[in-house]
Structure 1
Amino acid sequence: MSRVLITRPDGQTEGLARRLREAGHQPLVSPALLISPLPLGDPDRRRVLDLDLYHAVFFVSANAAAHGVAAIADLWPQWPVGVHWLAVGEATAAVLRDAGLTPELPQRGFNSEAVLALPCLADVNERNILICRGESGRDWLAARLRERGARVDVLPCYRRRANPGFAWPDGTGTVMVTSVEGWLAMAASVPADARVIAAGERIAARVREAHPGPVVVAASAHDIDMVAALPPP
């Protein structure tokens, strides 16, 4: 039975661990990043108060959904109507559904490029779009939407920092990496011969810059795709 290290933040590992066990692997968990909510500053509070003026609100991750929804719910006891609630993938969509929202998400891809192809973003000229994300993050989608004429705001709703308690378990030969930030936080602890399962080519490219061992590119960060990238146990 192969030992596979899951490095997602706390609260986001159970589904992946279950699929790994079902596939005959032994999952271990050591989060690479710690997540903490950010309080809303005055400009961000105003954006949330004006939420009904937005054509779409995009949550870039399950963390963004959890902390973004909490911040919005403090100011909106009932969700505004007419807003497209966009999720990057199924895990993010599940958080939105639990909050009583109806998310729209890509059928495949599960990244910003796939979100940009959603029908509701085809014509966004002079429309307002809000992106809920971490304190820092990729600006690719915001740039593409602005090219289409949209007015894009960013709502930073959580902070990521390297987990000082991250540890590499003895006897583990494979690690799953689902973000560039997570990789940078753990890279120094990953053995040179370890197999890295990277959630997409963008992350894999960063891993290859520092890691001489095998790097396998999963189709997406979705649990099914991450497990499918593993060789048989």
Structure 2
Amino acid sequence: MKLLLTRAEPDNQRLAQALAERGIDSCSVPLIETLELPEGPEQRRLIMDLDLYQAVMVVSPVAARIGLQRLDRYWPQPPVGVEWYAVGAGTGALLRQAGLSARWPCDGQDSEALLRMPEWQRLLELPDLRVLIWRADQGRELLVERVHAAGGRVDCLALYRRQPPAGLDVQLREAARAGVGGIVLLSVQALQNWHQAAAADWSQQRHWRCWVPGERVAQHAIGLGCSDVQLCHGADDAAVLAAVQSD
């Protein structure tokens, strides 16, 4: 079965090489285009006030890369007393490379797994909790809701925008003609972009075997009519490779 890889091109190339070493053919069609947002006064203030927060959540490698560039611009040394959390190991590795003592869940790579961490349970009990989330201009509302529900204050630093690439419908039809029978989808937005771009071809493409990182994306896929949904139990290359090879 030929797989369609749908992350950013560098990530797809890395995963494609690992798949090829295992005899699995693939092709690449990124489903999300990422555009860095300009830094305005409010975004600058959130970075400069970083020492007012007990914790910073970083939701993706893109958020980590852009956020770390801005952190370096305004903080020659990271502020003391701030706890750093990443949604997944890839994001956490980027934070650690920058000298930050980042933590991430070991039992999943989504918001739910992050919030299950014992460290987060302790933070949510603080009466004056303040949390900063590095993210896109939308998404990860569960993190916001959970902090608010615990009586904490949460601010979101929007670092980038995600949108469907131009010509996505044509690329998906070309992938279908090339013999694709499976697709790796690692976010709800990627799933939605695929569904919208497939349009009239959705009745055929929804039967591709669909690998997703966790239950939340799986339920969205099933709700849209995907007939063969497989869990990767994570969004990193190792989780995807393990899931694909186990089939």
Which residue does the alignment assign to 2:61? Answer: 62
Is residue 230 from structure 1 mapped to residue 232 from structure 2 by the alignment? no
Q: Distance in 2 between matches of 1:182 and 1:172?
A: 17
- Stretches of structure 1 lacking an aligned partner (at least 5 in a row): none
> Any conservation in 2 of the 1:40–1:71 contact (CA below 8 Å)?
no
Alignment match of 1:213 (pick from 227, 233, 236) = 227
**When the two structures are superposed, what TM-score results if normalisation uses the length of structure 2?**
0.86
Which residue does the alignment assign to 2:131? Answer: 129
Deviations 1:167-215 (A, max 9, x none): 1321111100001111111224362431111121111222222334312
Alignment match of 2:192 (pick from 161, 170, 184) = 184
Alignment match of 1:175 (pick from 179, 183, 201) = 183
Q: Distance in 1 between matches of 2:156 and 2:238?
A: 30
Q: Distance in 2 between matches of 1:58 and 1:18?
A: 31
- Stretches of structure 2 lacking an aligned partner (at least 5 in a row): none
| Cα shift at 1:55 | 0.8
Which residue does the alignment assign to 1:146? Answer: 148
State, as a whole percentage, how many aligned pairs show the same letter: 35
DSSP 3-state at the match of 1:229: helix
Aligned residues: 232
**When the two structures are superposed, what TM-score results if normalisation uses the length of structure 1?**
0.90
Q: Distance in 2 between matches of 1:21 and 1:232?
A: 16
Q: Distance in 2 between matches of 1:94 and 1:13?
A: 18
Alignment RMSD (CA, Å)? 1.9
Q: Distance in 2 between matches of 1:212 and 1:157?
A: 32
Q: Which has the higher helix share?
A: 2
Deviations 1:111-161 (A, max 9, x none): 112212334322333121101110110211121122223211111100001
Q: Distance in 2 between matches of 1:162 and 1:116?
A: 29
